[in-house]
Amino acid sequence: MAVDPARIFKPINIALLTVSDTRGPDEDTSGDILADRIKTAGHRLVARALEKDDVAIITQRLNNWIDDQSVDAVIITGGTGLTGRDVTPEALDRVKEKDIPGFGELFRWISYNTIGTSTVQSRACAVVSRGTYVFALPGSNGAVKDGWDGILAEQLDSRNRPCNFVELMPRLREK
């Protein structure tokens, strides 16, 4: 990470959503990993939920958090695969204003080093919606580690150079 120690760290408020038909709160290990990493990095975990793989339910949850001015970013784990029940990217399509295509591209590049060509089955993606970042990662423990450690830890650190997502936040709502 290219952290500039002369810059001040600015913690952001993050909401965490696990999407799963098979996990409950006690089995949400990927959500637990992300929650721990969010807090360890110095950010605030302001909300956490677990929802079923249902486009309408996920969209409603996202809209509530996106409209909440205290939420700067949403991180989702789960629902990004290829099965009929995996609908997280479709829910993001309903709320997005802009895609962040480089996020999914970089995730799959990083993931390739871990799981090889199986990474093509991932539909990890990210969008901007009404001034809020929304990042969707696969539901496996390895995938959330790859996504956080390889991308989000740096891009959500205001000290990261040459640029980062945090410094763009005040300008996300510009027209």
Cα–Cα–Cα angle for 161, 31, 101, rounded to 5 degrees:
45
**pLDDT tens digits, the chain, 175 residues: what are they?**
588 989 999 999 999 999 999 988 999 999 999 999 999 999 999 999 999 999 999 999 999 999 999 999 999 999 999 999 999 999 999 999 999 999 999 999 999 999 999 999 999 999 999 999 999 999 999 999 999 999 999 999 999 999 999 999 999 988 8
pLDDT of residue 122: 96
Rg (CA), the chain: 15
Task: For residue 21, give both structure tokens.
Answer: 């038909």
pLDDT of residue 5: 87
Task: For residue 98, give both structure tokens.
Answer: 């802009």
Give the 3-state secondary structure of residue 75: strand
pLDDT of residue 1: 59
pTM: 0.96
80 closest CA partner among 30, 19, 146, 128 = 19
